[in-house]
Structure 1
Amino acid sequence: MAGSYQKFTLGSAITPEQQAFLNQHGFIHFTNFIKPETVTNIIQASEQVQQNWITNKVEKVNGVPIKYGKDVDGSPIVQRFAFINKHHAALDEFSKDPRFQVLLNLIGEGARLGTDEKDGMVFNHYVNGPESSFTKMGWHTDGLRDIFHGQKLNPMLNVGIHLSTLKPENGGLRILPGTHQQNLYQMLFRKKYFLDHDTDENEVAITPTAGDLTIHDGRLWHRVAQSSVTGEESRRRVIYIPIIAGKYEPKNADSPTAFYQRFAGIVK
């Protein structure tokens, strides 16, 4: 599946074709999930949260470290927000969009949107500037954290709401289709977690238009490629919310920082 791939439109129910595509490839791409004005409103909400966090020097939310960086003009920005839905009414409201409930059917019974578990609604803001601290992310799977916590690997899907229109040269999500079906050894050792940024001959570039929604299986190998362009043209924003099953484990202000998150500095 190198290069282009099939894209879908989300309706009132998941179709058998859509379910089959996800089952086979470990990801699925829905176009036009939100309107341009909604994209604008979400970005504006993130900027309001950003200003609040910078002013109040917020370092962690529910135990999750916040990643700060510098914009193209050198001004401070938040580059990775955790639980942003808990810090702005518009983002909390967005997380309750009934169409997310349709997506739960991709896992089935017991699935829920993890707005108060793991890292909640994550907002990533990448920019490739001279002082940016968040331009790329090495190969990894999202399922590793369950193993870190000594838990069995529960079903998990990562829902991405894309707020930027991307071409391959803009960097962004790269996936290895079908690797969600690998065995545990391959999941642990196929790549060097977060340290390996090399292009894989089998990878597929996810190229969304602002407003699109993608889903990838938590067991799927993926990375975030660095933009080959710099400055304002490199700016890209994306929200991630997990769909999870298994034991309900909400986080709060007293939640500890996870072992692997203490080494967040190696994740660029």
Structure 2
Amino acid sequence: MKKWESDFYLGDTLTQDQLSFFEEHGVIVFRNFLSQEKVQLYINEVCRIEKEWIEEGKEKVNGIPLKFGKDEHGNKTIQRLCFSSLYSKALQELLQEPRLQNLIDLLGSYDGRIAENEKDGLVINNYINTPNSTFTQMGWHTDSPRDLFLGQKIMPMLNVGLHLDTCLFDNGGLRVIPGTQNQNIIKLLFGKKYFIDNNDDSKEVGFDINAGDLTVHDGRLWHRV
């Protein structure tokens, strides 16, 4: 396992170097996508939504179960929220950001859209590594089997992550196996035991992620957290 450095920054358009890098590796990190003021705004929005949902006793959103756990103080917390932008004007406006819309160009010849009302919508993951946490890691997986489960053809999908806190390589975070977005269907479905296998892979890489950074990876890429 090794750490990849990244010096990419996302402007009004994607550069050819950025497009070529993503096409080859299936993953890219853009630094300082969000200002620290915006980071704090979205943290406040997440806290507000979580508080409201817990007070309401909400357990599902659009049929998708919420994942609950305990924070470091033993308080009930939601560790996976879905369709979050439907409950926040600020998050809705974030998804309309032109720079985010331009990421669709990473799909190449395929048509794309931001799936605010599809699958699980805007998902917020809150990984807490404490004894009471129920969500400290996510084993190796791709995002493709869900297409098969829904009776659809496996198509390219971008997994876009906006990071609201800092997670350095030594502390965990996103791990990917670069280039596996081009693997055949057998390796895609059976290359690892989905979500169960969390063993190190000699070809995997990780990153130093800072609050405000943006990560994008192809959903067909093997990845874990």
Give structure 2 stretches of 5+ with no counterpart: none
1:159 aligns with 2:160: yes
Checking the alignment, whether the CA contact within 8 Å between 1:7 and 1:28 is kept in structure 2 is no
Name the counterpart of 2:189. 188
Structure 1 position 86 matched with structure 2 position 86: yes
Structure 1 range deviating more: 38-47 or 144-153: 144-153
* Alignment of 1:169 onto 2:176: no
**Per-residue Cα deviation, 1:137-179 (whole angstroms, up to 9, x for no partner):** 0100011210121211112011110111121232111000011
Report which of the two has the higher share of strand. Answer: 1
TM-score by length of 2: 0.96
Once residues 29 and 82 of structure 2 are traced to their aligned partners in structure 1, the CA distance between those partners, rounded to angstroms, is 23
Secondary structure, aligned partner of 1:78? strand
Corresponding residue for residue 35 of structure 1: 35
Which residue type is aligned with residue 126 of structure 2? H
Q: Output one character per residue of 1:72-122: Cα deviation in whole Å (capped at 9) or x when no partner.
A: 110001100000001112111211111111111111452111111111000
Identity across the alignment (%): 49
Per-residue deviation, 1:181: 0.6
Give the Cα separation in 2 of the matches to 1:91 and 1:6.
Answer: 26
Alpha-carbon offset, residue 202 of structure 1: 1.1
TM-score by length of 1: 0.81
CA distance in 1, matches of 2:143, 2:207: 17
Q: Does 1:9 align with 2:9?
A: yes
The equivalent of 1:46 in structure 2 is 46
Distance 1:168 1:11 in 2: 25
Task: Quote the Cα distance in structure 1 between the aligned partners of 2:26 and 2:138.
Answer: 19
Q: Distance in 2 between matches of 1:101 and 1:49?
A: 24
Distance 1:155 1:183 in 2: 14
Q: Which stretch has the larger CA shift, 116-125 or 198-207?
A: 198-207
| 1:78 maps to amino acid | I
Q: Distance in 2 between matches of 1:70 and 1:47?
A: 14
Q: Which moved more, 1:189-198 or 1:162-171?
A: 162-171
Q: What is residue 136 of structure 1 aligned with on the other side? A: 137
Secondary structure of the corresponding residue to residue 28 of structure 1: strand
- Give 1:5 deviation, angstroms: 3.5
2: CA distance, partners of 1:88 / 1:198: 37
Which residue is 1:203 aligned to?
204
- Whether 1:25 and 2:29 are equivalent positions in the alignment is no
- Amino acid of the residue matched to residue 188 of structure 2? M
What letter is aligned with 1:176? I
Q: Tell me the distance in 2 between the aligned counterparts of 1:7 and 1:140.
A: 27
Q: 1:91 to 1:197 in 2, by over 3 A?
A: same
2:81–2:124: 8 Å Cα contact kept in structure 1?
Answer: yes
Match of 2:97 in 1: 97
- Contact 1:26/1:179 (8 A) holds in 2: yes
Matching residue's letter, 2:17: E
Gaps of 5+ in 1: 225-268
1:50-70 residue CA offsets vs partner (Å, 9 max, x unmatched): 011101111111111100110
TM-superposed deviation, 1:3: 2.5
**How far has the Cα of 1:9 moved from its partner?**
0.8
Q: Report how many aligned residue pairs link the two structures.
A: 224
Q: Which amino acid aligns with 2:30?
A: F
Judge conservation of contact 1:26–1:217 (CA < 8 Å) in 2.
yes
Distance in 2, Cα, partners of 1:105 & 1:178: 18
CA distance in 2 between partners of 1:95 and 1:131 (Å): 32
Moved over 4 A (4+): none
User: Any idea what SS the aligned residue of 2:102 has?
Assistant: helix
Residues 169 and 5 of structure 1: is their aligned pair in 2 closer, same or farther, counting only changes over 3 Å?
Answer: closer
